[in-house]
Structure 1
Amino acid sequence: MVKKSFAMVLMIALAAMMVAGCASFKKSDGTDERSGIVRGKVAVLTATVVAVDLKKRIVTLKDAQGDVRDMKVGKEARNLSQVKVGDIVTIKFLESIAVEVIKPGTATGAGATTTIVRAKPGEMPGGMITRQSAMTATVKALDKEAGTISLMGPNGKTVKVKVIDPANLDKVNVGDELMITFTEAEAISVERP
């Protein structure tokens, strides 16, 4: 339970910092429409297989800088026996957070999901896992001079953080609800050189 509460606080804090990027648009009828934002980062690791221990399910990888590391491969990974010394392994990590201003009481989709895609039997090893958590938070306070926003999550706890660009605090109001969606994805592929 402590881990879940920490994750919730972290999501709220990240969302509060992201308010700095909220954009304001005009609808076709000329009225103001506040929009959501998405921020993310991707990291890619490419390495060469230098050893495979099928019995222990350990693949040893060497990256471009010459660093060598062992990867324990779980039993859920199919087709490990096809991995050979010299194969190229690419691992991609993605983290993103999306924040959308919504009308109070209209939140849908709060919760967490995990999606796993695995290689089919006989294919080269690979797959992807995506974890997505969504929650709502209410804007409790804005301090434009200090450049901070306070958000209250569904657990009733409030987090106060400094935003990147305080001018964007004009785009949210006390009482607004934010739908915050945090996504993590990891993908791995193995190819012959």
Structure 2
Amino acid sequence: TAINQKTREVTLQNEAGESVTFIAGDQVRNLAQVKVGDKLSVDYMEAVEIEVLGPKEAEVGAADAAAVGRAEPGEKPAGAAIRETTVVLVIEAIDKEMQTVTLKGPAGNSKTVKVRNPDNLNKAAVGDKVRVTYTEGLAVSVTEK
């Protein structure tokens, strides 16, 4: 609903009529091409994958990976980012009656969690590894009125 090219202050309004104002940082290319009334498209996704591995299939640890992209000079502003975090934990204890599993992380900390599907406890054993992968992505683009 408002763009101040000098200060890079941008005010957006969603379909419900709610407004938010922010400063578009220098990493936002081609701001001069954006006009009041242009539409901003934002797509967000997240996913979690959990895999039980044998005790020797992976080392306990954590890893992060990320990728970003943005519009080329002269194009409408757009960008995308994706981040993936993978953690390998070891199963310290399984309590079928309470439907919980205790996992030990790479830093040596332990956490007991309730399992979503108790039948999966029959497929795991103390000492097995669990690989948890969390993926998060965001894509933003500007389209004309």
Q: TM-score, normalised by structure 2?
A: 0.90
| Aligned mates of 1:119, 1:136 — CA distance in 2 | 35
How far does residue 167 in structure 1 lie from its aligned partner after superposition? 2.5
Q: 2:50 is aligned with what amino acid?
A: V
| Selected match of 2:130 from 151, 154, 178 | 178
| Selected match of 1:146 from 98, 101, 112 | 98
How far does residue 91 in structure 1 lie from its aligned partner after superposition? 1.4
Q: 1:67 is aligned with what amino acid?
A: E
1:78 aligned to 2:29?
yes
| Aligned mates of 2:93, 2:57 — CA distance in 1 | 21
Contact 1:107 1:136 in 2 (8 A): yes
1:13-65 CA-partner distances (Å, limit 9, x unpaired): xxxxxxxxxxxxxxxxxxxxxxxxxxxxxxxxxxxxx1111222222111111
1:161 aligned to 2:113?
yes
Secondary structure of the equivalent of 1:81? helix
| Aligned mates of 1:63, 1:128 — CA distance in 2 | 20
Aligned match of 1:106? 57
| Aligned mates of 1:141, 1:181 — CA distance in 2 | 21
| Aligned mates of 2:9, 2:83 — CA distance in 1 | 25
Aligned match of 2:73? 121
How far does residue 110 in structure 1 lie from its aligned partner after superposition? 4.2
Consecutive unaligned residues of structure 1, counting only runs of 5 or more, are 1-49
The structure richer in strand per residue is: 2
Consecutive unaligned residues of structure 2, counting only runs of 5 or more, are none
Contact 1:139 1:150 in 2 (8 A): yes
Contact 2:50 2:130 in 1 (8 A): yes
Q: Which has the higher contact order (CA 8 A, sep 6+)?
A: 2
Identity across matched positions, percent: 40
> What is the 5 A alignment of 1:14-163?
50-107=1-58, 110-163=62-115
Q: What count of residue pairs does the alignment treat as equivalent? A: 144
Contact 1:144 1:167 in 2 (8 A): no
1:112-169 CA-partner distances (Å, limit 9, x unpaired): 1221111111111111111211120011111111111111111111100112232322
The structure richer in helix per residue is: 1
Contact 1:52 1:58 in 2 (8 A): yes
How far does residue 72 in structure 1 lie from its aligned partner after superposition? 2.3
